[in-house]
Amino acid sequence: MTERLRLKKNADRRLKAGHLWLYSNEIDIAATPLKDFEPGAQAVIEAANGKPMGIAYVNPHSLICARIVSRDVDVRLDRSLLVHRFKQALSLRARLFAKPFYRLVHGEGDLLPGLIVDRFDDVLVVQLNTVGMDRMRDEIIAALEKVLAPRAIVFKNDSSGRRREQLGDEVEVAYGELPDQVLLEENGVRFVVPVLDGQKTGWFFDHRANRSWLNGLVAGKRVLDVFSYVGGWGVQAAAHGASEVLCVDSSAQALERVAENAALNGLAEQVAVGEGEAFEALAALKAEGEQFDVIVLDPPAFIKRRKDIPNGERAYSRLNREAIRLLGRDGMLLSASCSMHLAPERLMECVRGAVRHQDRHGQVIYQGHQGADHPVHPAIPETAYLKALGVRIFRN
């Protein structure tokens, strides 16, 4: 018999609107004490009048104390539901992409809260970001095996979300045998993906469409890729005709991968690397009198929590100011943010202020967001996190 979790009066409004999260202050703890639940246990969610509303897994120690996995109270999160959801997710990606390189499961966007799966052909990289999903690890492996028969499944469980759920970090090959090199192809360019020791799952599929847009504007240009990681933007720019590319990152290991990926595509001559913190590197390039035609700013999230917004916005503004100083008379800036808490209009404002600070003019010619393999849940604004602005910046 599945346990029950009852909501306070009127606390079912978001659920009725399609949301999948329940907060601890929405629970009628007199009727159904949260403390009685084992982390990860599944429960029938009831409205205040006792009407069943769905099945969720529960974590009494988290602010988001329950996450809906099905509206059908006769269904449970088990291998059968996982197989069904994986097939639903796969059918979308098969329509979107000709080659098997994409995010296969995007958490709430694919009705599987707490689960991320990135696909690199026959290698799958999985993140279990909640206690509820962590408890399902064996079923997840079995369901992925049934749907895709992969060569290897890697658990890349080192996200900040896990720490909020009081889960430890672990990175391991959970199934099969990992090949010596994991490769992917994006926008016609090949990359080696560091799935075990890279950032997140090893790659950021979410910017694919934004990179594709920029690739059409870089021929013959001098390009600066700041926060380059393994060269997603920079190496693609070189492959699409940029005359020179400089990739800047604070990680020496990431820059080694940039060089490896440039060589993989026969672009070693066009792509240079520079190690350093972004703000210091931008200042040094300015002091050296360097100038670029195109600059890409794709920083990590400066705003992790709502309380970080003021400081984070200042950091975005400063970053864009420093970059614009390095643009020639008629340059292109690609300014991105993956901070969920930074509203699109606030990124626009950061860029606008930076343009005026340098006494230049800006024309926003592109507004991008996350790719279609990162579907946005229409009831959950938090699933729409990525922003990218393409801005032509010129002097009077």
Q: Can you give the pLDDT at residue 177? A: 96
Choice among 65, 247, 338, 350 that is catalytic:
338
338 is catalytic: yes
Task: Count the helix, strand and coil residues of the chain and give each as a percent rounded to the nearest 5.
Answer: 35, 30, 35
Q: Can you give the pLDDT at residue 161? A: 84
Q: What whole-number distance in Å separates Cα of residue 342 and Cα of residue 260?
A: 34
Specify the 3-state DSSP secondary structure of 224: strand
In contact, 194 and 249? CB cutoff 8 Å: no
Structure tokens at 232: 């997603």
In contact, 106 and 116? CB cutoff 8 Å: yes
pTM: 0.95
Structure tokens at 222: 């001098």
Structure tokens at 4: 């029950």
Q: Can you give the pLDDT at residue 373? A: 98
Q: What whole-number distance in Å separates Cα of residue 384 and Cα of residue 147?
A: 27
Specify the 3-state DSSP secondary structure of 256: helix
Structure tokens at 29: 């703890």
**Using CA atoms in the order 91, 95, 97, 99, what is the torsion angle rounded to 10 degrees?**
60
**Structural domains of the chain ordered from first start:** 4-70 (2.30.130.10), 79-180 (3.30.750.80), 183-394 (3.40.50.150)
In 3D space, the residue among 89, 155, 122, 126 whose CA is nearest the CA of residue 374 turns out to be: 89
In contact, 191 and 203? CB cutoff 8 Å: yes
Tell me how many helices (H) and strands (E) the chain has.
Answer: 11, 19
**Using CA atoms in the order 162, 168, 173, 175, what is the torsion angle rounded to 10 degrees?**
-80
Q: Per-residue confidence of the chain (396 residues) as pLDDT tens digits?
A: 579 999 999 999 999 999 999 999 999 999 999 999 999 999 999 999 999 999 999 999 999 999 999 999 999 999 999 999 999 999 999 999 999 999 999 999 999 999 999 999 999 999 999 999 999 999 999 999 999 999 999 999 988 888 888 899 999 999 999 999 999 999 999 999 999 999 999 999 999 999 999 999 999 999 999 999 999 999 999 999 999 999 999 999 999 999 999 999 999 999 999 999 999 999 999 999 999 999 999 999 998 888 999 999 999 999 999 999 999 999 999 999 999 999 999 999 999 999 999 999 999 999 999 999 999 999 999 899 999 999 999 998
Q: Can you give the pLDDT at residue 164? A: 86
Q: Can you give the pLDDT at residue 120? A: 98
